[in-house]
Amino acid sequence: MPRAGGRASAAAPPAGAPGPRLAALDAVRVLAALSVLFYHYAALDSAWGKPAEDVFPAAHALAVYGWLGVEIFFLVSGFVICMSAWGRTVGDFAVSRVSRLFPAYWAAVAFTSLVLFTWPEVRRVESFSDVVVNLSMLQGGIGVPHLDDAYWTLFVELKFYVLFAAVVMSGVTYRNCVLFCGVWTLAGVVAPSADNGLLSFFAVPSASPYFIAGIAFHLMRRFRPNAVLWAVVGVQFLLAQHHVHARMISSLGRKATEQTPAWPAHAVIVLGFAVMAAVALGALDRVRWPWLRHAGALTYPLYLIHMMAGLTLIHHFRRDIAPVPLVIGVTALMVVLAWLVHRLVERPLGRLLCDGLRRGVQDIRCGTPRRAPLGRIPAQPSAREAERVPAGRS
């Protein structure tokens, strides 16, 4: 592989060339998605009509830490976005992100809306306009409630994409990525005490350490580990640990946080950073089980559809089915639905959306849209011909 500041070896792939898929990252995604699902189904009280701790006395003690799957997702996202943006233009980057995120998301919004309108037991949709706004994925910026609470992470991801687009515009290089990591780290440290709304909006101090560490881990893999990259990772690790208490409060509530040991959450973050370091150093390259690729592809649609729809189904059938079989059944149903969304919506619609957006981006690059084929759009009549058309006729 090319070395920072040196020449690429003859065997190294050119910049931007897709490397082999990392099955270990798919494994991390699967574990993260299942941990979030476990947290929502076994740690939240809303589905059961009583404290979830009474329903799952043993499992609840583990489920309360499942929200950390989101942090692990952010780690993986930083790694993957840096990897996939290499050698791309900002237009290509935007097209890849939009075509990747929106098809499954639109399907999830439609499905969740249908469930909530049918059984408004756990949550009621206050306005159909809220559903429409949720289709934009921008509801978090204009004060419209999330149709599904899990969607808050998507708005954080969008902020990361907007910021990283600046790197893509200037060229995704080792130097620019390291500078980006440094500037965003500084913003995240300054934002909590700065009276600047725009800075606070984009700094995302509780999430940025994971994205930044993911970028640094990819740079280690693409080039080589060095003291600068380890320093970047080390700082992000310390900042991530600092935000654990606040994240526990936002996920569990202040009272539950006071009664829940924090050390397992800190340990999970240690494990997450350690696994990503192993991926960066190539220690997990032998993990190549073919099924991981397919399982990893389901994690995004599963994350999108599982929460409010799953909680509603659990609440609706909680008196008819025992808790453990109910959770297993709802989980299995969500996995099957995620597979259907992936195969019937995400893949075909993603390709169509990608092709259409690419043509649009090409038109922007050319400075003017390409003309439509003759016969599809009627030509405008000349001034002389227009004079011959009788008034009132087209």
pLDDT the model gives residue 271: 98
For residue 201, being part of any structural domain is answered with yes
Over residues 297-314, the pLDDT tens digits come to 999 999 999 999 999 999
Over residues 274-303, the pLDDT tens digits come to 999 999 999 999 999 999 999 999 999 999
For residue 202, being part of any structural domain is answered with yes
Is the per-residue pLDDT at 380 higher than 80?
A: no
* Residue 300 domain boundaries: 23-367
| Mean predicted confidence (pLDDT) in 107-123 | 95
| Mean predicted confidence (pLDDT) in 66-74 | 97
Mean pLDDT of the chain, nearest integer: 89
Confirm if 295 and 26 have CB atoms less than 8 A apart. yes
Is the per-residue pLDDT at 28 higher than 70?
A: yes
How large is the C-alpha radius of gyration of the chain?
Answer: 24
Over residues 151-196, the pLDDT tens digits come to 999 999 999 999 999 999 999 999 999 999 999 999 999 998 888 8
User: How many residues are there in the chain?
Assistant: 394
> How many domains, the chain?
1
pLDDT the model gives residue 143: 92
For residue 8, being part of any structural domain is answered with no
| Mean predicted confidence (pLDDT) in 247-268 | 95
- pTM greater than 0.95: no
Please name the residue that has the structure tokens 């006395």: 57
| Mean predicted confidence (pLDDT) in 50-60 | 94
Query: Exposed, middle or buried, 129 (CB in 10 Å: 0-12/13-18/19+)?
Result: exposed
